[in-house]
Homo-oligomer: A and B are copies of this chain.
């Protein structure tokens, strides 16, 4: 099967055909049985069967999880089908202040390569594009994949992206990237379709496609880390905002008389709910520069001071999440960022604080009308996986 054939199957026009819908659902959800495909797509079993015969004949769909050793050992349950991992690849790139991450994945979103490199602060978009090109070439060569299989590249960046012109906004992100049309810069160098979005929006896409929000059309993604941010998903779409600024939960001004924030406002949620200040306290206490992971590990091991730092931060975050709950009343909140790795130590005080400060209390409504709060599935690489997802959504699932 040719690259052109795959592209045509994944393209918008084809998703109305049974084959297109099957490819889309396999690319989003991963391996599943023919029965599950019928259930998920709503197609008749006979239609699925006919389409699968054709897809398997062309080599697009293969039996098993793409991991023949494992699938051979599970006896003979309903045959699992997956996209042929060699049918196409996507690249996701995440650009932070001081590093970039690259994930190469096949269309069944199995990760082929995952690499992080450190960068000098204030690196230019042109330098980033050139480095990306180099890293991609290297990864494809190392893993003996033809560069021809590369369908597109997704970029996850800090700060809001203007949905009209695709440019990085002033507020947040790498300062030298403000006003730059990243899509053009990267397409010029990479010679592939490039899709750009804010990192939290990308994280939400990863959780929606394959993570903690599968099955939810509406949810809030809430990042708790050294920064605080998030994304809002409504009817299966990330709300971007007119200037790309939606979901910037960290900059809700909860105390207009409070300390000055890096954004220029006062008393932003991020000043109270990020782990920056707690880390200063922890470093003082232990007499050396501590990381979030260290503090969380110590807390898990029972250190009372580290537990308290997590609890207080979660309490503050819950106040902000309470406002978000009053505004949206979402069925689900997915917590991302390093704080999510603290699990119950963070989740219990967060939920208590959320319930205290939000309008509709847990006990006010039946269980199915309560807001669920869960930790994300892709905490370590959600934004970069979401950048991969953005490419797949474009080809297979854009509506």
Residues of A with Cβ closer than 8 Å to B?
160, 162, 164-165, 169-171, 218, 232, 234-235, 237, 239-249, 251-256, 263-265, 319, 322-331, 356-361, 364-366, 368-371
Contacts and interface: CB of A to CB of B under 8 A. Distances in A.
A252 B327 contact: yes
Nearest to A264: B361
A361 B248 CA distance: 13
A253 B322 contact: yes
Given A170-B364, A241-B360, A242-B368, 12 more contacts: A160-B360, A162-B369, A169-B365, A171-B359, A171-B360, A234-B234, A242-B330, A245-B326, A245-B329, A248-B329, A249-B327, A255-B255
A112 B46 CA distance: 54
A370 B327 CA distance: 21
Contacts of A242: 218, 329-331, 368-371
A329 B369 contact: no
Identical chains bound together, number: 2
Given A256-B357, A365-B162, A370 B326 contact: no
Contact of A164 (B235, B356, B369): B369
Given A369-B162, A370-B243, A327 B360 contact: no
22 contacts: A162-B365, A164-B368, A164-B369, A169-B360, A170-B364, A218-B239, A232-B328, A234-B234, A234-B239, A240-B329, A241-B330, A243-B360, A243-B370, A245-B326, A246-B327, A249-B326, A251-B326, A253-B322, A253-B326, A253-B357, A256-B319, A264-B361
Contact of A359 (B235, B237, B240, B251): B251
A364 B171 CA distance: 8
Q: Which of A162, A249, A263, A369 has the most CB of B within 10 A?
A: A369
| Nearest 7 pairs of A and B residues by beta carbon | A241-B329, A245-B329, A242-B331, A243-B369, A251-B359, A245-B360, A243-B365
